[in-house]
Structure 1
Amino acid sequence: MSKVHKVILLIEKSRAFGRGLLHGIVQYSNFHGPWLFYMEPEINKKSRKHPYEWIGDLEADGIIGYTWDTNLIKAIVSLGYPAMIRGLEKPTLNAYCIVTDQVAIARTAVEYFMELGFRRFAYCGFDDMIWSQQRGENFSKIVLESGFKTYLYKQPKTKRFRSPDKEQVIIAKWLISLPKPIAVMAGNDDRSQDILAACKIADIKVPSEVAILGVDNDELICGLSYPQLSSIALSTQKAGYEAARVLGKLMEGQKVAENEQEVHVSPLHVVTRQSTDIMAIEDKQVAEAVHFIRNHSKEVIQVGDVAEASGLSRRTLEQRFRKVLAHSVHEEIKYARVNQMAKMLIGTNLSISQIAWSLGFPYTNNISRYFKRQKGISPLEYRKKYAPK
Structure 2
Amino acid sequence: MHEHRRVLLMMETSRSYGRSILRGVAKYARAHGPWIFHRPAPFYWGNTGRRQFLERFLRLDLDGAIVREQSRREWTDRLLSGGLPVVVAPYSEPFAGIPNILTDDRAIGTLAADHLLRRGFRHFAYCGFGDAYFWSRRRGRSFCDRVKEAGFEPHCFDFDHSKPASERSWQSQQRTLVDWLKSLPQPVGLMACNDDQSQCVLEACKTAELHVPEQVAIIGLGNDDLVCDMATPRLSSIALSAQKAGYEAAAVLDRQMQGQSVAAPTIVVRPSHVVARQSTNVFAVEDRYVLAALRFIHRRAGKEALQVDDVLDAVSISRRSLYDRFARTLGRSPHEEIQRVRVDRFTRLLVTTDLSVSQIASALGCADAKNLARYFKRATGMTPLSYRNLHGRR
Provide the TM-score with structure 1 as the length reference: 0.93
Instruction: Give the whole-Å Cα distance in 2 for the aligned partners of 1:251 and 1:45.
Output: 31
CA contact (8 A) 2:127 2:157 kept: yes
- Pick from 309, 312, 315 the counterpart of residue 320 of structure 2: 315
- The answer on whether the counterparts of 1:189 and 1:221 sit within 8 Å (CA) in structure 2 is yes
Larger deviation: 183-192 or 352-361? 352-361
Deviations 1:58-97 (A, max 9, x none): 22111112227542443333222222112273663xx312
Residue 375 of structure 1, aligned match among 376, 380, 388: 380
- 2:10 counterpart residue number: 10
1:82 maps to which residue?
85
Deviation at 1:42, TM superposition (A): 4.6
In structure 2, the residue matched to 1:56 is 58
Q: Distance in 2 between matches of 1:162 and 1:151?
A: 23
Secondary structure of the residue aligned to 2:211 is coil
The one-character-per-residue Cα deviations of 1:186-209 (angstroms, maximum 9, x if unpaired) are 111111111111111111111111
Structure 2 residue identity aligned to 1:121: F
Task: Give the number of aligned pairs.
Answer: 384
1:187 touches 1:215 (CA, 8 Å); kept in 2? yes
Q: List per-residue Cα deviations over 1:27-49 (Å, max 9, x = no partner).
A: 22222222111122357965433
Counterpart position of 1:114: 117
Which amino acid letter does the alignment assign opposite residue 231 of structure 1? S
1:262 aligns with 2:266: yes
Alpha-carbon distance change, 134 to 46 in structure 1, aligned in 2, over 3 angstroms: farther
Q: 1:366 aligns with which of 365, 368, 371?
A: 371
Q: Secondary structure at the match of 1:54?
A: helix
Mapped partners of 1:215, 1:137: distance in 2: 15
- CA displacement at 1:132 relative to structure 2: 1.2
1:338 correspondence with 2:338: no
Letter in 2 for 1:251: M
Q: How does 1:283-294 map to 2 (within 5 A)?
A: 283-294=287-298
C-alpha distance after superposition, 1:132-170 (max 9, x if no partner) = 122112211221121111111132444456422222222
After superposition, where does 1:212-291 map in structure 2 within 5 Å?
A: 212-254=218-260, 256=262, 261-291=265-295
State the AA in 2 paired with 1:124: C
What's the offset of the Cα at 1:104? 0.5
CA contact (8 A) 2:195 2:223 kept: yes
- Residue 22 of structure 1 corresponds to 22
Amino acid at match of 2:24: G
CA distance in 1, matches of 2:312, 2:68: 50
Contact 1:161–1:167 (CA<8 Å) still a contact in 2?
no
Q: Distance in 2 between matches of 1:382 and 1:237?
A: 15
For the residue of structure 1 that corresponds to 2:232, the secondary structure is coil
Counterpart AA for 2:310? D
TM (norm. structure 2) is 0.91
Q: Residue 7 of structure 2 contacts residue 38 of structure 2 at CA under 8 Å; is this kept in 1?
A: yes
2:375 aligned with 1:386: no
Matched, 1:174 2:176: no
Contact 1:91 1:262 survives alignment (8 Å): no
The residue number in structure 1 matching 2:137 is 133
Moved over 2 A (4+): 40-55, 68-78, 87-92, 154-166, 252-256, 356-365
Alignment check: 8 A CA contact 1:345 1:379 kept: yes
Any stretches of 5+ residues in structure 2 without a counterpart? none
Q: Are the counterparts in 2 of residues 300 and 359 from structure 1 also a CA contact under 8 Å?
A: yes
**Superposed displacement of residue 287, structure 1:** 1.7
More divergent stretch after superposition (56-65 vs 153-162): 153-162
| Bigger mean CA deviation after superposition, 301-310 or 101-110 | 301-310
Aligned partners of 1:19, 1:115: CA distance in 2, in Å? 31
Identity, % of aligned positions: 41
> Does the residue aligned with 2:81 lie in a helix, a strand or coil?
helix
SS of corresponding position for 1:342: helix
1:291–1:138 distance in 2 versus 1, CA, 3 Å: same
Q: CA-atom RMSD, angstroms? A: 2.1
